[in-house]
Amino acid sequence: MSIENISNQSIDLDIEMKVYKGKDYGLMSEEDFRKELAKQKRGNSGPFMLHSTAVELPNIHVNVESYEDYIYLRHIKMRHEKTALSIPQKSTEEDVFGQSLLLYEEEPIPIELEIAIRSDDFTDGIWRKNYKLEVEYE
């Protein structure tokens, strides 16, 4: 997911997203996937096969929490920052959540999600938007 700032001023904001789980597809955080791979490497069975021994560190800028009905992602600010993201004027912040979710399904299917963006520049309060994301294969 990317965010484009089309204004003539920089914008500071905090962003969060809920990705709703569905019965027709599987959804898990990258961290849970890594844990599953580690379990398999130790000999436990599961639906994933381990093909690599590369070690990657989790994205420290994204907090991922898994709930019964959805996965919650939040771009977190560092201690010295006022907000989680600062986007310069007329520029785009690419890959805001850093590929933190894994989706597995057999056919292309719409995924429901809710995005909330907070900024002191939003005089009407929190900007919220519900989406149905159509996942397609190339």
Please state the domain extents for the chain. 3-134
Encoding tokens for residue 8?
């003539």
Tokens of 9: 């001023």
Report the DSSP pairing between strands 91-93 and 85-87. unpaired
Written as six digits, the tokens of 46 are: 């599961």
Residues 6+ apart with CB under 8 A from 121: 9, 11, 12, 13
Residues 6+ apart with CB under 8 A from 88: 5, 10
pLDDT digits (tens, 9 = 90+) for 5-46: 999 999 999 999 998 888 877 777 777 777 777 777 776 555
pTM: 0.71
